[in-house]
């Protein structure tokens, strides 16, 4: 049996399936969960629940999974006979690594992901770093299984592919991703709903806050590093407002590395991007205990961002 066959055989033998999204959930992990959830509870006639340690962002409510969704710091895994993690490079990403480790070998686990840093932590690991998104992997296994793709399934999958490729503009964009998207559109994916919810998110007020941050953009000419600093919520409003800033900054033509630092209580969250073939920001992130993709990665460290005369440091 190949991995896809193992996955569908495990699904067929299960009754109640838990889908786990990574913490700080995005369009790919939630879009993948939505697609799999609607397949499982539809054609496959299974019970299913979607779990995440953080809430669904408002921009992804249109995926229509709010009723199937549990947001909690903990969960009783014994209620389930199969666990599928989606877009989680390692157990830490699930937000419940201890709970999952405890149940290891007691409940069957499946890991579907496209991060090159994936640690293959499950019983069945379907990890493809060439895939633009985990949603693209779900798309191809549903196709291999000859499952029918409903509007809810296709919309979830297209949301994952569009958001992870930043609307077909970043290095994850491949002909397979575009071909999958074309097929999903043909099958009825609601692209306007995806764009309106995930892309058209700004208010004039939120863009003024972007302006404030961008007006203090730092550029290190020697190393061609652009960095932006987002102050903590008390000073600058909700962190959500600044989502997408790192991706936006990749449009700067002479930047090798983009760094966006966000102060959150005593923690500094760092997002990194590059558009250069020879640079791997995931490797850089790993040095600080983080991870991600070669062209988009991040990490968190305890500390305080301190602005210096023409740069910044972390204390």
Residue 162 CB, nearest approach to Mn ion (Å): 12
Q: Which is nearer to Mn ion, 86 or 258 (CB)?
A: 86
CB-based contact 50:17 (threshold 8 Å): no
Residue 297 CB, nearest approach to Mn ion (Å): 12
| Helix, strand, coil percentages in the chain from 3-state DSSP, rounded to 5 | 40, 20, 40
Burial label for 172, CB within 10 Å (0-12, 13-18, 19+), is buried
Q: Which is nearer to Mn ion, 137 or 226 (CB)?
A: 137
Q: Which is nearer to Mn ion, 10 or 164 (CB)?
A: 164
Residue 65 CB, nearest approach to Mn ion (Å): 17
Residue 22 CB, nearest approach to Mn ion (Å): 8
Q: Which is nearer to Mn ion, 153 or 159 (CB)?
A: 159
Q: Give the residue closest to Mn ion by C-beta.
A: 28
Query: Torsions phi, psi of 113, nearest 5?
Result: -160, 165
Binding residue (CB under 5 A) for Mn ion from 10, 11, 19, 28: 28
Within 120-139, the residues that bind Mn ion by CB under 5 A are 133-134
The window from 24-32, 53-61, 172-180, 224-232 that contacts Mn ion (CB under 5 A) reads: 24-32
Sign of CA dihedral 184, 188, 189, 190: positive
Q: Within the chain, what is the greatest distance between any pair of CA atoms? A: 62
Report d(CA 91, CA 207) in Å as an integer. Answer: 35
Residue 207 CB, nearest approach to Mn ion (Å): 26
Within 256-315, the residues that bind Mn ion by CB under 5 A are none
Binding residue (CB under 5 A) for Mn ion from 164, 170, 228, 268: 164
Burial label for 164, CB within 10 Å (0-12, 13-18, 19+), is buried
CA distances to 122, 142, 152, 218, 282 from 32, in Å = 18, 11, 11, 36, 22
CB-based contact 46:17 (threshold 8 Å): yes
Binding residue (CB under 5 A) for Mn ion from 60, 82, 87, 246: 87
Q: Which is nearer to Mn ion, 14 or 247 (CB)?
A: 247
Which residues contribute to the site for Mn ion (CB under 5 A)?
28, 87, 133-134, 164
């Amino acid at each position: 049996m190949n991995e896809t066959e193992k996955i569908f055989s495990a699904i067929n033998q299960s009754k109640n399936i838990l889908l786990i999204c990574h913490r700080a959930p995005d369009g790919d992990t939630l879009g993948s969960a939505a697609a799999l959830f609607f397949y499982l509870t539809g054609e496959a006639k299974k019970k299913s629940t979607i779990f995440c340690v953080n809430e669904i962002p408002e921009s992804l409510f249109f995926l229509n999974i709010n009723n199937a969704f549990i947001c909690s710091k903990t969960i009783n895994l014994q209620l389930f006979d199969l666990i599928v993690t989606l877009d989680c490079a390692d157990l830490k990403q699930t937000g419940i690594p201890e709970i999952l480790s405890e149940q290891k070998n007691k409940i069957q686990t499946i890991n579907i992901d496209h991060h090159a840093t994936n640690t293959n932590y499950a019983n069945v690991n379907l990890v493809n770093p060439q895939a633009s998104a985990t949603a693209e992997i779900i798309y191809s296994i549903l196709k291999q299984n000859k499952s029918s793709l409903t509007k809810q399934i296709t919309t979830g999958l297209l949301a994952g592919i569009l958001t992870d490729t930043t609307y077909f503009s970043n290095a994850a964009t491949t002909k397979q991703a575009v071909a999958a998207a074309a097929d999903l559109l043909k099958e009825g994916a609601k692209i306007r709903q995806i764009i309106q919810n995930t892309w058209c998110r700004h208010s004039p007020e939120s863009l003024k806050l972007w302006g404030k941050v961008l007006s203090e953009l730092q550029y290190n000419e020697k190393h061609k590093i652009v960095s932006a600093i987002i102050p903590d919520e008390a000073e600058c409003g909700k962190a959500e407002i600044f989502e997408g800033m790192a991706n936006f900054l990749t449009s700067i033509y002479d930047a090798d590395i983009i760094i966006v630092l966000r102060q959150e209580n005593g923690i500094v969250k760092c997002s990194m991007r590059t558009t250069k073939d020879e640079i791997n920001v995931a490797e850089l992130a790993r040095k600080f205990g983080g991870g991600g993709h070669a062209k988009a990665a991040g990490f968190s460290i305890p500390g305080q961002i301190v602005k210096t005369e023409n740069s910044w440091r972390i204390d």
